[in-house]
Structure formats: structure tokens, C-alpha cells
Chain A
Amino acid sequence: MMGSVTVDRIEAVYRREHDRLWRSLVAYTGDTDVASDAEAEAFTQLISRGDAVQDPAAWVWRSAYRIAAGLLRDARPADSGPPPAVIDDPSIVDLLGLLDGLSRQQRACVVLRHVGRFTSPEIAELLGTTPGTVRVQLHRAHKSLRVTLEET
């Protein structure tokens, strides 16, 4: 049975990871609502697994990104939900626009590197791929971003 100790432990993970995780999800998805939904669902699922998860922080990062990817994939232009929350900070809007030019995987790698501050091997673990893959994606993402920045 799920004990309060476990919930407390997960809440501690939340307090420690939340800001960084949520901001990175915003950068990854470009949508604050999707970021909040993905993070909430990840923590809810983490609670459902309780003590079975050995590294809750890593698990919730990995799951949040997968959930966010699923939410983005399922999103349809005709969705009749509430309008997405508006980000009015021009620097952030510019940043998100810049990231829009990347593939989904490149964007995840870049965001996890720059916002999550994870190393390539750590990102590889989170995304279920290899450090070599991550390095390739980062290399190509940076190259693409630099080109875009020079053009603008």
C-alpha cells in the first residue's frame, strides 16, 4: 500500500526538481499548459508506482518528456480546449521560436542540456538512447541554431 512516507518522498523530489523540470518542459513543448499537464501526469504516475521506482527524479524527468511528446503528438489544431496560456516575455517568445526550427529529438537534447543541465550520458539515459546519439543531436542542433541566429 502506498504510504505517506512515499508520498512525502515524492513530494520532496517535486520540490527539488519542479522549477527546472517545468521550465525545461516549456522550452521543449513551447506551451506552459502542456508542460504543466505533462509534469502533473508524470508525478501522478510516479505516485502510482511508489517504492518500485528506485530513482524517482530520473524517472519523473523521463516520463514527463515522454508524456509531453505524446501530448504534442495528439494535439490537433481543431482541438476545442481552452486557448494556450500566453507567454508575453519577448525573450522567451524568441527562444521558443528559435527552438521551433529543431526536430523534436534535437529540441529535447538541447533543452535537457541547457535548461536541465544534464550531461550527454544523462540525457541519453533520460531519452533511452546513447550518449553518441545525444552528441550527434546536440551538434546538429547547435549548428542549426547558429545558422538561424546568424540569419536573424
Chain B
Amino acid sequence: MSDDDLDPELDTRFEALDRLDPPDVWSTVAATLPERRGRPRWVLAAAAAAVALAGIGAGWALWPGGDQDDVVAGDARSSEEQTNVPTVSADATGVVAPDVVGLSLGVARPLIEQAGLRPAVIEGDPDFGPAVVVAQKPDAGLSVGLDDIIGLRTALPDPPLLLECAGGRHPRDGGGTGDGLPQVDSVSRAGAEQAVIELRSRLSNTVFLGQWSRWAWQRVDGEVEVVPVEGFQVIVVADSADCGPVAPPIVNGVPVTEVRGPLEDFIAGLVAADQQLETGLGFTVDLPVSWTADSTAAADEWSESVVGDGGGFFRVRAMDRPDRSLFVDFADPDLPDLGEAAAEMAGLFPPEFGTTPEIVSTTVDARAAYVIIPSADAITPETVTYLFYSPLSSWQFLEVAIDRAHDAAVMATFTWRPDPLAIEPTGPALRFALQTAEDLMVAVIAAGIDASVLEDPFLPVGGVVAGRQRRICVAGGLVRVFEFDSVSLRVAESELIRPDGQPPRAIVAWIATPRFYASDRLIALHLGDRAETIDALVRTMGPTLSPDATAGRGEPGTAENCDGELVADLSE
């Protein structure tokens, strides 16, 4: 690789780091090896694996939750022993195991740690934060010793809502492992592809391919199976009178790309397009692939990048891998204009192609959008880039981009036909771990509603309620968000908010109706009656904590806008 992206002057400055003497970190690592009390996670994982290998198939039952020192790698106990009631630490000092069943792993883990205990996922993927804790040992409420391990068993979050339609069978309704977990641990991409191909003779249905971390739902003849695959998911929803052919575009917060039509046609189209690209352009497409949301984007990238104050955000999709995308920081002062961003992106195309890509302006949902189109003979995985400015729900952009950019290519087989019924969740169906204002913003955007974080470094800590105060703009209405370090701290505060909207420790003469909401580590407050803002908060955080609140000395029908001004609600 050339060093064209290696700044020589800066490189010299980095040489100063060579004068830093790295400490011996390995001594810290080695201290976690099993000779030490307080088993590290690998011991537990090894123990569970040993049980699985022994054919017991119930690594969870092995975990007694008591004296962790008894649990060593390879300690596969008898079935009888595994059913013993969990014991608690003999030197219990009053630490009570918190109840984390039903919470997402991402929420449960810090809750346990705050109690002075250590979480350990005994069954399930310890890195899969959205997984739901379905069991814990020791049980909630038991007294355990400080620094004891709370073993967790996790399962998938709920599958797509439409899989729960009448006549269908929910994965947790029993059968299999009881919670819908598959019996396989690893299915290759080729294996998943083969599964789709095999299914085509049995189904004339809608196929969903979604890039996500590791899980896929398949529905075949009324049965629901969950198939983990590497790097992408296949969602097959069978046509039936009960269920219909439509699946939600958002699956557990991850939008999926919808492909309609007979499966045979779909497969044939993919293969043909792939061959065309491979032979004509040297562009190899892994099959099956999909356009999806930014499922592979790290959470950090997401939260840092969608911050903006314009009710939307830049999105750049670089086609070097069809399943990944790039967000450009909306708040970047170097990019005040989307057109400039498009020009910058176009200018970054590899110079060896000797072409200046064409930038086509268009609109998506009445918003400015740009499609960067290289000349046909320059299409490579590196040179097809779309850039658009749109809320998350505007996947119609795909159609625009596909039509204009390379409609003969593989992406032409993907279409987007949103079904209004499918994208209207009932209640807080879009379940996100809400820990920061950015989390709430993402959840709101995923619900198809504009939102952005309003940066204001001078906001005080606390306000009418405790916590770090942030502000976000939701559908034109101002929402004050109070962040807490833990769910328990948030609960302690939100329980003090009265149904009439009076906050803890104060009596406030409100100028508009105070509407409080709480979920996970957040309390949110919207002042006023802005319907879209209220709807967004209900959908993402649940019912208001202050159903009896009134406008006080203000006028009903007014609401605080994102500039902090009280205005008549125009959202109707």
C-alpha cells in the first residue's frame, strides 16, 4: 500500500511515543488465570463447554451459583447434581442479588456490577448486548457474598412481531430448547445460502435478508426457527392467510431490506446479477447479500455520528462492501453543506481510476440527496458510493439510488415497499437500551421520527430532576433528557415524580404540561402538547409518568419547540 495517507510530519511527532516505556500488562492478565480465587470468565465458559460435550446439553444447570471455586474447567457433574437448588455464598454479607431476568444483557450487566457482584454469561453470547436474560443464578433476592458471580442465561430478543401472528408459533412457546435457541452454533455463509436455496422449492414467499450480528429467524410452514449465521441473517416469512407476506422493516431495531416475489426469481436474479458483475466488472458479490441498516456499525460510530441539529444526518454508503456503511459526522464544521460532503467524497475516489465521479442531486422524501456515480467503466467496489441526507426510515432512497446508479447491478433486485401497518409498532416495541440521550435519539429515529441531540455544554447538572441534563429535539419538540449512572438511580428518582407532573424536591408552576417519561437510565421531560413528540416518547419509553399533569399557568395546546420557545403546537 502506498503511504499517501501517511502524513510525514505527523509521523515524526508520533515517534515521541517510542520514549514511553510500556508496563508489563501480562502480569495483570496472568493474575486472572485459574490459580486465583474468583474464577475468570473463561473457566465458566470452559465448564459449560465441557458439559455440552458430555452430551448433557444443560450447561446452565451445571452452574450452581454458589461457591465458584468448585467450578473448574471439565467439571461435568451428574444430572442429579445439576438440579440441585443453587446455594449462596456462605460468607454472605448482605449483598442481595438483583433481579435482572427480563432485562437486556446490556442493562443487566451494569446492574449486577453496581450491586458489587460479577455477571457471567453461562449460556448465551456474552457479547450480544440485546440478548434477554431469561434466568439467573443465584436467584434474585438471595443474599450473596460481595464479588460473587451471578450466572446468566440469555436468549434472543423477541423475533419480528409478525412472526407472532395468529396460527404462528412463537419461539418461546416451547419446543426445542424452550426459548427458541437453535441447536447450532455456527452456520457458514454458504450454509445459510444453501438453506435459502433448499427452501425455495417449499415456499413461495417473501424473503428477508438482513445483516445483523448473528441471528436469523426463519419461518417455515408455521414453524419458527432461529438460525445463527456469520455476519448476516436470513428472514423468511411464509405466506399465509394469517400472517401475510409482510414483515416489519425493523427487526429489533435493525431495519431489514425487503425482497418480494417468488424465491426462485430472487435467487436467479441474484445469481445473474452476480455473474454479470463478476464477469463484466470484476465485482464479486457474496450471496446472499442485502442492503440493510447500519448493523455492522459499532455503537460508538452510530452515536457519535448521528448527532446533529437538522432533523437528520448524513449517511454515506460506501459500496466496497454492500453490507457496511459509513456515517459522516453531521456536526463536523468542515461539512456545513451536504453538497460539499458529496464533493469531498467524490474527490476521495482512488485516483488510479482517472475519473471524476458524477454527482447527481435528487430528493428523497423532499430532502436533498446526492448520488455519486462513477462512470460505468470505473465501477469497482471502491467507487460506487451513495450519499444522502435522510432520516433512518427513508429507505426509498435505495430505489432512487439503484435506478440511477446501476440498475443492472445486483441491487436492482432489491426493492423497498414499506407497509404502513408493519412499521407502526404498538407501544414501545422498538426496544433499545436507553442509557444516553444519543440512545434515545437513535430509538426515535428508528421509529421513523426525526430527532437530534442538541449540544449545549453549559447545561447544568440536574434541573427539575437529578441526573446529567441533555436536550434533544424530537419532531420539533424539545425534550430534556436526564441521564443516570444506573437504572436503580434512575428508578429512585423517577418514583418521586408525581402523576400531576410535580418533580422531586420542588413545586413547579409549569408554563406548559409537564410530560415525564422514564426507561432504563433515562428520564425524559417534554413541556407541552406536541403530539408527534409525545408519540415518539411513548413509543420508545412507554407511558408517561405524569398522566394527570396540566398546563398549570400555561395554555393547553402549547409546546416548547427545539429553540426553547413556547409555541402553539402545529404538529397537527
Contacts and interface: CB of A to CB of B under 8 A. Distances in A.
A149 B9 CA distance: 10
29 contacts: A1-B49, A1-B50, A7-B33, A18-B22, A22-B22, A23-B22, A26-B20, A36-B23, A40-B29, A47-B29, A47-B40, A47-B42, A73-B300, A76-B485, A89-B16, A92-B20, A95-B14, A103-B329, A110-B10, A114-B10, A115-B17, A120-B1, A129-B324, A130-B325, A136-B348, A140-B332, A142-B7, A143-B334, A146-B7
Given A11-B26, A26-B17, A120-B1, 20 more contacts: A1-B74, A14-B25, A14-B29, A23-B22, A26-B20, A43-B26, A50-B46, A76-B485, A92-B16, A104-B300, A114-B7, A115-B17, A127-B301, A128-B301, A132-B382, A132-B385, A133-B316, A136-B326, A138-B5, A145-B7
B16 A135 contact: no
Interface residues on B, range: 35 or more
Nearest to B347: A139
B465 interface: no
Interface string A99-120: 0000111000010011100011
What class of interface size applies to chain A in its complex with B? Answer: 35 or more
Given A36-B23, A119-B1, A128-B298, A95 B17 contact: yes
B20 A18 contact: no
A98 B348 CA distance: 24
B17 A36 contact: no
Interface string B362-403: 000000000000000000001001000000000000000000
A2 interface: yes
Interface string B34-52: 0000001110011001100
B497 interface: no
A118 to B, nearest CB: 10
A94 to B, nearest CB: 8
B19 A44 contact: no
A137 B495 CA distance: 44
A130 B321 CA distance: 7
Contacts, number: 157
Contact of B334 (A26, A40, A95, A140): A140
A10 B220 CA distance: 43
Interface string B273-313: 00000000000000000000000111011001100000000
Contacts of B22: 18-19, 22-23
Contacts of B329: 103
B5 A132 contact: no
Interface string A59-88: 000000010010001001000000000010
B26 A14 contact: yes
B140 interface: no
Contacts of A57: none
A127 B29 contact: no
A14 B304 CA distance: 31
A34 interface: no
Contacts of A98: 13
Contacts of B9: 146, 149
B482 to A, nearest CB: 15
B17 A92 contact: yes
Contact of B6 (A11, A91, A114): A114
